[in-house]
Structure 1
Amino acid sequence: MAKSLKSKQTKPEQEGERSSTALPQEGEIIRVLLVEDNPGDAFLIQGMLGVKRSEDAVQYEITHVDKLEDALQTLAKKDFNVVLLDLSLPDSHGLTTLEKVVAQSPVLPIVVFTGLDDETVAMQAVQQGAQDFLVKGQVTPGSLIHAIRYSIERQQNELALKQKTIELERLNKELRKRSLELEAANTELEAFNYTVSHDLRNPLTGIKTGCALLTAYMGDEDPRLQKYLGTIQDYTRHMATLLEGLLQLSNIGRNPIQAQVVNLSSTVQTIARQLLQQEPKRNVKFVIEPQVNVEGDTHLLWVALENLLGNAWKYTGALEHAQIEFGKTTLTHVSRQPLNAAETIAPNQPIYFVKDNGAGFDMSHAERIFLPFQRLTNSEDFSGSGIGLSTVQRIIHCHGGQIWFDAVVNQGATFYWTLAYKQ
């Protein structure tokens, strides 16, 4: 039979009222199920909890049973804040006693009593669900009250952690699902982009060829027709440039990086010579830091530098004395840092750059600069497809780096980028 002893006179429990494992506040009641078959030990424990202590303002309502069977039946009928459990009972012995109580009430804090000062048993009890462990004969009122309150608080924390872990697992699962969906969508988009870019080139070539044949056939008979045909050819050339850019953009990342040592300085020198050969009358000074070697894909890095240097060449076209510079630096020496610089860029990590003193652009619209077909300068003044910087960004990302920039209108622009870095 269960016998109830209250440490203080309390109001009768209302019908349907249920206690919880929440840590009681001042003036509240801690409901204790004491499972102890030794009448003397039970009397001492009840007495300790019945002593008025200035530092412990809560009340303890104790229900005492002396058998495991009675304890399990009592737990099925009523909620408690904590169980004080003797491991040696007439109908159960050892850690099996704890296992059965935990199975009955898995979220209820349990403080185990034993007559043995056995650290191994203590550790096993805690591992199997107990919150604390007390040795008979060594228990004081202070240590008992501390164990009760600690076990309730620890159980609260464990339940909160478990709930947060479940929520985190749910969020991770949802994130993985979204990531797979996004990856599939990107794959489909790239495949579509590749197909459109590739398949549209044939009819476009047919249009260009037809215009050329009509121009040759008509001769100079109708100047207006020649003008119209010339306009069509100009648009088809522009369309061909766009398709070629889209095709190049869609191809990046489809194949693994072929990493090897690349001399970027040599690559920049070659591209600079080509640009000067194309427009020999321009007065452009190239400043190239020597022996800038990196590890990456030779072809892709060539494409990235070709686009960056091509932009610098284009946007300095109106200057009598233009300058384009290539080199490397570190984070403390750049004119502008990316938002996540402290987390993603090591202090001594090389940062590469292409800098010019050309037209620049307004940084208030800079978030659009890497989007395909987005241009921050007047397209009538500067030709181009609007795909080049999107291509550069994808190449840098494929190399495990990031790219950002700084610019001032009519003072030039600087593009910075990093590559995968091993400290």
Structure 2
Amino acid sequence: MNNTALSEILLIEDNPADARLIEEYITERSWPNIDRTAPAIEQADRLDSAIEIFDEQIDIVLLDLGLPDSSGLETLDRMLEIGELVPVVVLTGLDDEQVGVEAVEHGAQDYLVKDDITPRLLQQTLRYASQREQQQQKLRQRNAELALLNQVVRHDIRNDVAVILGWGDSLKDHVDETGADHLDRMLEAGEHITSITETVGDFLAVLEDNSDPELHAITLSSVLTNELEKARSAHEHATIELTGDLPSGLEVAATELLSSVFRNLLNNAVAHNDKPDPEIVVHVEEHEATVSVEVADNGPGIPDSQKREVFGRGEMGLASSGSGIGLYLVDTLVDMYDGEVVLEDNEPDGSVFTVTLNKY
């Protein structure tokens, strides 16, 4: 399928009257207003028969989901598996319009209610479905290219930063007190660059998965303890403490990317802190069906007018004046986990980020 002009359509319909009417509509005189010539039609009344005659010449598929040898969304799944790059338009009855909506959510390009079909509607639907499929193919190819480029760039950055950090550590015994302060700042900046590459990788993993994530049991104590140790190691000048009890067997509904939520909250609390000695307090509160994790800091705080923007919410998105991609990722992940993240003022100074997750 190299352009939006359709040359061959595969019609899969077991009702002879419906099949004959659709064929007439496709070859009706108004078609040349959309394409120069009406496309050829291959017709099958069984899914297995359609699969046998399917070839690379097929530009689009008109599919009835209620066939003698297959029914429902399983029919669509099998067709999409065979014709991965060919758009499918589903045909439904008047009482099955919701099935058509579900089919589109499942991968079909569009659906048509048989009793509502007109020649013009049929022809336009096929044309637009073909156009959308081509656009999506181009987008998928571009995304794959960008993902590969991102992987290569992040790999190279991490390698170069590792070299910088290695040589920086070796200089610690060769600089005076003033130089040591500058060196520490340089090493901290290098660690921050490494952290950013990890965050970008996590964010792309979320973007690349268009389906709803499969939530499963994640042990909160393991994730939180690990991220606290990493934060303390990366920010030796900051005080990072855990208050309250952290039950060892407590599980929440999430994915492995939950660690990125707390890593970014902790890094953000230190990176945007204007105090010479940043203080970060993490508190865990267990409720009947949920668990809340507070990350409080003694930084400059965030004005009420910017509390939504800091997550990249609303129209501003990633271009917000907030704290960058890290908090946007936090908000995105917590929303995927059917949880909530809230930003409030700390007393007397700073901010409190509260993440609420569902128990598993």
> Could you tell me the TM-score, scaled by structure 2's length?
0.50
**Structure with the greater alpha carbon radius of gyration:** 1
